[in-house]
Every structure is written in structure tokens, then in C-alpha cells.
Amino acid sequence: MKKLLLVVPFAMFLMQVVAAQQAPLSVDRPAEPNMLFDDDGGKVQIVPANLAPAAPKTFHGGAVMSSVQQVSIFLGSGWGDAQVRGRQRGLSDMAGSGTADLSEVRSRKIKTMRAAPQVDDFSDLSKTTLNDLDIQRRLDQMLKSNAIPVPNASTVFVVFLAPGTTLSLGGTKAGVDFAAYHNVVHLDAGEVRYVVVPFHADAQKHATAAARAFAEAALNPTGQGWF
């Protein structure tokens, strides 16, 4: 009877809301450390939110990049703020500026190239919760509009999210479950490797998360390299 729908379930709904507030939604996690499921069922390697050091890496027989070049995308209106923008210098060329620890990348004989020119996209994303599909869709749009260069074998797009931008990945939350991650998507432009770095109030931690995810993108671009 439809009438029951209007009365009884409301109490159940309140109970569910309370329960939902008490217990976080359950999210599946892969068995491997520092891995999460993304939004279409694959695994992605993350930098944990606490930046805890990763265990020594082992090789899993898959692809490793032979050279890596950063293409930074500063995404979100928060980057329009002059003070925030001051961070860009230290982030936009992690290999060329020497600010990032890429020693493991170099020790694996991966050539680290000076970064390509950065791209600013100051869209107002402050009222949006982005997920990995949104990032993929935006990269696709930017490639189709020539806002970013067609990737070559060395390209890793590093998407720096502006403060105030909320990000989730397979139901997990940036800042809580991860500090950065890297992934790969196949678009009309080909294989697109990318790193996503949510904003961190602590500039040093922000840079550390970015550098680590960038390095892991080079070492483990498609999930079967060094990790």
C-alpha cells in the first residue's frame, strides 16, 4: 500500500541518516597497501594522507616510463589568489627545479625532463565534489580543445587542485584517505597518464605528496611497474 510509504519510512529514514552519520560508508579497498579502487573499478596507487613512507618497491613485470616530463594543470579558481599562486613556482617543475626528491626515479634510469609550460584553468569548482571520472572528463575536454598538449611517451599531467576543491576517489576522500594519486586513462588522444594532487594547507606536505605521486607515475604508470 502506497500510503505506508509516506508515514512509516520517515522514521526509518531518520534512523538511517543517524546511522549514516555514525558509521562511514563502507568502501572496498584492494589488498595491496597504498592502493585504492577508482571510479570505474580499477586500482590506483595513492600517496597516503599521512605521507607515511612506502615500503621498498618491487618490480611487477609491467611498464615503467623511460623518461618523464611534467605538465602541470593548476585547476580551480582558488589558484587565482595571488598568495596561493605563490606556490606554483615550487610545484610546476618538480624535476627541473630540484625541489622534489626524484632520486628513486633517477636510480631506475628514468630520464627526468624539465617541465613543459604549465596550464592554468581557474574554473570555479568550489561547489563541486570532483571524482576521478571528472578529472578524466576534464582532461579529455582540455585535449580536445587543445588547452593542453597531446601527451607523448614522457608526458605526465599533474593536476593541482585549488584550495576549496573537494575530491573523492572510488568513494574515498582526499585528505583523509590519500594525499595524491596517479592513474591512466585511454582517450582519443591516446594513453593519458596523470597525477592528481589535492591542495594541502601545509606547503611542504603539498609538495611532498605531489613529488611522490609524480615519481610513482613514472615508476608504475599502468599498475604493473615498480610499487
Partner 1 sequence: MSQARRLCFLLAVAVLVAPTSLLSQCGVERWSVKTGTDPDAGKVNLASSSPTTIASLRAVPAPSPIPSNNRVSPTETTVWVINATLTQYKLENDSDYHIVISDTNGLTMITEIPSPTCVGSTSPFLSAIQNARAKFDAQFTATTSFQTANIPVQIVGVGMFDFLHGQTGVAPNGIELHPVLDIIFNPGTQTPDFIMSTTPSTLSVAQGSSGTTKISTTVAGGFNSAIALSTSGLPSGVTASLSPTSIAAPGNGSSTLSFTVASTAPTGTFNVTVTATGGGITHTATVALSITAAGGTGGTTTQLLGNPGFENGSTNPAPWTASSGVINNSASEPPHGGAWDAWMDGYGTTHTDTLMQQVSIPSNATSASLSFWLHIDTAETSTTTAFDTLAVQVRNSSGTVLSTLKTFSNLNKNTGFAQQSFDLASFKGQTVQINFVGTEDASAQTSFVLDDFALNVTTPSTTDTTPPTASVTAPANGATVSGTVTVNASASDNVGVTQMQLLIDGTLVASNTNATALSFNWSTASVANGSHSIVAKAFDAAGNVGTSSTITVTVSNGTPTTSELIVNGGFENGSTNPAPWTVTSGVVSNSTSEAAHSGTWKAWLDGYGTAHTDTAMQQVTIPAGATAATLSFWLHVDTAETSTTTAFDKLTLQVRDSSGKVLSTLATFSNLNHATGYQQRSFDVTSFRGQIIQIFFSGVEDSTLQTSFVLDDVSLQVTQ
Which residues would be at the binding site for partner 1 (CB under 8 A)? 1-6, 8-9, 12-13, 16-17, 20, 25-28, 30, 35, 37-44, 128-134, 136-137, 140, 166, 168, 170-171, 183-188, 222-223
Q: How far apart are CA 95 and CA 102, in angstroms?
A: 7
CB of residue 48 to partner 1, shortest distance in Å: 18
CB of residue 24 to partner 1, shortest distance in Å: 11
By beta-carbon proximity to partner 1, the closer residue of 83 and 145 is: 145
For 144, the grid coordinates are: 580536445
Q: How far apart are CA 146 and CA 140, in angstroms?
A: 10
For 202, the grid coordinates are: 601545509
By beta-carbon proximity to partner 1, the closer residue of 27 and 113 is: 27
CB of residue 93 to partner 1, shortest distance in Å: 28
By beta-carbon proximity to partner 1, the closer residue of 109 and 186 is: 186
Q: How far apart are CA 69 and CA 96, in angstroms?
A: 9
For 214, the grid coordinates are: 609524480
By beta-carbon proximity to partner 1, the closer residue of 154 and 172 is: 172
CB of residue 185 to partner 1, shortest distance in Å: 5
CB of residue 178 to partner 1, shortest distance in Å: 14
For 215, the grid coordinates are: 615519481
Q: What is the dihedral of CA 156, 109, 209, 221, to 10 degrees?
A: 40
CB of residue 197 to partner 1, shortest distance in Å: 18
What three-state secondary structure class fits 4? helix
By beta-carbon proximity to partner 1, the closer residue of 8 and 203 is: 8
Measured in residues, the chain has a length of 227
Q: How far apart are CA 167 and CA 100, in angstroms?
A: 24
Cβ neighbourhood burial of 113 (10 Å; 0-12, 13-18, 19+):
middle
CB of residue 183 to partner 1, shortest distance in Å: 8
By beta-carbon proximity to partner 1, the closer residue of 21 and 50 is: 21
Q: How far apart are CA 86 and CA 212, in angstroms?
A: 21
By beta-carbon proximity to partner 1, the closer residue of 116 and 167 is: 167
Of the CA atoms within 13 Å of residue 214, those in its CB half-sphere come to 34
